Each structure stands twice: as C-alpha cells, then as structure tokens.
Amino acid sequence: MSIEQTVLEIAKRARKASLELANLDAAKKNAALLKIAVNLRQSASLILRENRKDVHEASVAGLSKPMIERLSLDEAKIEKMALGVEEVAALPDYVGEIIESIVRPNGIKIDKVRVPIGVIGIIYESRPNVTVDCAALCLKSGNAAILRGGKECFNTNLVLAALISNALDACGIPESAVQILPTSDRAALTAMLKLDTYINCIIPRGGEGLIRFVAENSTIPVIKHYKGVCNVYIDKFADLKTALNIAVDAKCQRPSVCNAAENLIAHKDAVPVFLKVAEALSARGVEIRATKDVKELLLENGIRALDASPEDFDTEYGDLIIAADIVESLPAAIDFVNAHSSAHSDCIVTQDAQRAEEFLNGVDSATVYWNASTRFTDGFEFGFGAEIGISTDKLHARGPMGLKELNSYKYKIRGEGQTRGKPALL
C-alpha cells in the first residue's frame, strides 16, 4: 500500500470511530481513560525501553540538549502523564449539553446541542506527553484523534499508542478512536492534510515553521497560533509595584513559553516607572533591546541596553531578551500592540479604569489584561481543567482551548409535521 493509501485508510477508520464516539456515555469514556493511566503505569519499563531508543538515535543525530531533554522520559514523567489522564477523566463531559433552546411561533423546537467535532488531526513535535494528553482530551470530548508526532519520538509514540489502543479495546471503544501515523515521512503528513472528507480539524503545535507548513498545505480547517509576541504596556498612570511585578513575571518566570512578554512599552510620562522596571529586568539577566533614544536613556541611567532592529518588535525570543520602546500616548500604545502583537496576550498596567477599558477594547488580541501577567493565558489558569492548545485565530476558538473548544454543535429540531409551505394534506 502507498503512504497515501495507508493514511486514507487511517482517516476512514477514524471517521467511522468518530460516529460511534459521538454518542458514548461519559462513564465509558472515563473507564477507558482510567485504563490508559493503568496501562501507562504497568508498562512504564516498556515505554522507557522504547524511549531510550529514540533518545539514543537523537544523540547520534546530534540533537540539541534541550530537545533531547524534552524527548526523554523517566518514571516520574510517566507518572505525571498517568495523573494527567486521570485528571481529564475527572472533568465534566460537555457532549450533549443543550447550549440554547428556541421554540418558534410555528411550534418547532430547536435545540442547539454540543457535539464532538469529529476527527481531529494533531501535529506536534517531540514531546511524548503530548501524545497522551491529546489522546485523552480528544477521547473525553468525543473526538477521534489522528496523532502525528515528531520523528525523533517515533518509537515512544508507537508504544504509547499501543497502550492507548489496548485500553480502548478493553473498554469496548473502537481502537481507531486514537491512531498514530505509522510513519514519520513528511509525505504522510501532506497526504493527511488533504483528507477534508474524513478529518474535520487540524491542530498543529510546535515551531512556527511546522505550523506554517500545516496551514499552507491543509485543506482541512486549522486552529493554531504561530507564535506568542506578547506586549506589556506601562501606562502614564501605572503603579510602580504592579508594573514591576507584572513585567518581571511576564518576561522572566518562564521565558520559553508563548505567553511570556517579548515587548515592553511605556507611556512617555511613565519614564520613571519604566526605568525602574528596566533596571529590575536587567538585574535578572534580561537583555534589553531598544530604539535609539530609549537605548540612550537607559544607558544614561546606568542600565545596559542594545540597539533594537525593527524586526525585534515582531520577534518571539523565548529567552531573556525584551524589546523596549516609549510611546506618546495611549492610542499610540494600542496601535503599537495591534501592529506588533501576535494577537495572543497583551497587558496594560494602569490605575486608571477608563484607560484600561480603552486598551482592553482597542487591542485586537485573544486575551487582553489589565494589571495581571500575560502568563495567565493557559487552560488550567482559566479553570478549563485542560488545554489542547491556544488559538490566535478568530474563528471557532480564541485563547486557551479546553474540552468545550474541542466540541462543535448541531441543531436538533423536533416538530409535529410542520412544513414551510402550505401542507399537501390538511
């Protein structure tokens, strides 16, 4: 069988399973989730053996240390995966929930009901925990999943998929509810992205290059964020302590993640606060890149700074680097954010409620903050209990995506023979 045929068969099986999954009761899905957790724990040594193969090949191939670290499993990481699956089992099941009910003057009753999306393809890089997390979230939300992880993780993913299939089968759920692409060939991915007849949604996670490849080659709707260029704006009426705490948290608490700040901008009347914040960042090892005048201002005040290139304000560093600038006004700050933000998470620090509202309304991003760190953009922090990703798209889901965002809806309409025109028989 060609790669294209193999992928087509996988997609067809997923579609078939999805129709069954759509009407499974919560108890059955939860039993399977708990069984997955059991399997992970019982087969920890098997998982570790396969994982060592991947790690060995990655070392031989000369992968970077952080990449190998992300790829490597140990007993504790496997236990964490199992706990994660148990947490998903404990979450509510939203499938079947009536979102809205309408009774029309002609008596037809229209229920808008939450249903699974159907078949979801998840494309990711080399973190084995993503395999288990995504399988669990898709299963709980009633979706069939086709998983395509990075090639560096291939052996680990195969064994994880086998353990998941085993659990599904033991609980009377079609094994093909969770499938993994059996090859890390790029051709398989490309073939998968064209199967819009069977696959309803693609969620790519990983680097911008991978996500762009997926978005450009997919005929299936994609939910994604390319990158996280988040902005912290220190307003004219900012409180020093609030500004300092938020900027330091947003930049330094975990610089590698997408909700970390990459740009720091300040109102021209907030220069004293800006300097204190810059000093605090610099003291924590943050490299500040600023426009010419701002750089000079920083240097005059004994704060280390480098020249910013225009691209710096559009760059996700994922590191202890921040681009800084000073703006003339609040509208200029909003324009700056709308021009440079990746529309992920942006924050205003101010004590003035009206100016805060202007920022919250004017900034066209998925999550906009007043006096709180951008680091809160996260399904767990929002109380969703889970997260399959974060969307900077404007259709379907925006911001953190939990179980509800993995659902669609259908309209169920119940009548007593109503017709649009005059009935044929009275």
- Which residues touch 250 (CB under 8 Å, ≥6 apart)? 230, 232, 259, 260, 261, 347, 373, 374, 375
3-state secondary structure of 54: helix
Record the tokens describing residue 269, joined without a space.
Answer: 């009347």
Indicate the residue among 72 and 338 with the shorter CB distance to a copy of itself: 338
CA gap 167, 146 in Å, rounded: 17
CA gap 116, 134 in Å, rounded: 14
CA gap 132, 214 in Å, rounded: 21
Q: How far is the CB of 235 from a copy of itself (least distance, A)?
A: 14
Residue 44 one-letter amino acid: A
Q: How far is the CB of 182 from a copy of itself (least distance, A)?
A: 26
Q: How far is the CB of 292 from a copy of itself (least distance, A)?
A: 27
Closest to 139 (Cα-Cα) out of 14, 238, 309, 235: 14
Q: How far is the CB of 335 from a copy of itself (least distance, A)?
A: 9
Indicate the residue among 95 and 130 with the shorter CB distance to a copy of itself: 95
Phi, psi dihedrals of residue 279, rounded to the nearest 5°: -60, -45
Indicate the residue among 60 and 424 with the shorter CB distance to a copy of itself: 424
Answer yes or no: are the C-beta atoms of 221 and 201 closer than 8 Å.
Answer: yes
Q: Tell me the pairing of strands 321-327 and 261-267.
A: parallel
Indicate the residue among 139 and 366 with the shorter CB distance to a copy of itself: 366
Indicate the residue among 92 and 296 with the shorter CB distance to a copy of itself: 92
Answer yes or no: are the C-beta atoms of 266 and 293 closer than 8 Å.
Answer: no
Q: How far is the CB of 360 from a copy of itself (least distance, A)?
A: 5
Closest to 333 (Cα-Cα) out of 277, 268, 272: 268
Q: How far is the CB of 56 from a copy of itself (least distance, A)?
A: 35
Closest to 329 (Cα-Cα) out of 247, 269, 257, 381: 269
CA gap 33, 281 in Å, rounded: 44
Indicate the residue among 354 and 418 with the shorter CB distance to a copy of itself: 418
Q: How far is the CB of 400 from a copy of itself (least distance, A)?
A: 8
Indicate the residue among 315 and 371 with the shorter CB distance to a copy of itself: 371
